[in-house]
Amino acid sequence: MTNTTTKPPTHRTDRERKKGTADLLVLTLLAEQDRHGYELAKVIEQRSDGLLIFHVASLYTLLYRLEGRGLIRGRWVEKPGTRRRRFYSLTSEGRVSVERQRRDWRQFVLAVDRILEPEPA
């Protein structure tokens, strides 16, 4: 990341914040139901009250990487009255992975919380 200095600082913060958690977010949402890319971005934006916003390049980079790792699978679905879209769903590997990541994340948050909370005197 040597050339990130040319990029706006907010962008960089966004990137880093999202980096560790984006996989978990997408996998968790797909564990609920199959979704297409734009829907995923919208849900993330809504649930985070606009705090987490993906643009197309970052989301699809993520999706293609997860698909490449075999955690999710995309397939084209045509529903009456809507255009043909590529819906993503979890593979069985993805299901295992999301469980593990959730557990790790909770432990991590717990650990961080413990440090942030002032120790009772």
Q: Would you tell me which residues interact with other proteins (CB under 8 A)? A: 11, 36-38, 41, 55-65, 68, 76, 81-83, 85-86
At its nearest, how many Å lie between other proteins and the CB of residue 38? Answer: 4
The DSSP bridge pattern shows strands 72-77 and 35-36 to be unpaired
Place of tokens 């590529």: 86
- Rounded to whole angstroms, the Cα distance separating 41 from 4 reads 24
At its nearest, how many Å lie between other proteins and the CB of residue 109? Answer: 27
Residue with smaller CB distance to other proteins, 37 or 98: 37
- Rounded to whole angstroms, the Cα distance separating 89 from 29 reads 10
Partners of residue 89 on adjacent β-strands: 73
48, 51, 52, 55, 89 from 45: Cα distances, Å: 5, 7, 5, 11, 19
Residue with smaller CB distance to other proteins, 70 or 109: 70
Residue with smaller CB distance to other proteins, 64 or 108: 64
At its nearest, how many Å lie between other proteins and the CB of residue 33? Answer: 18
At its nearest, how many Å lie between other proteins and the CB of residue 82? Answer: 5
Residue with smaller CB distance to other proteins, 42 or 106: 42
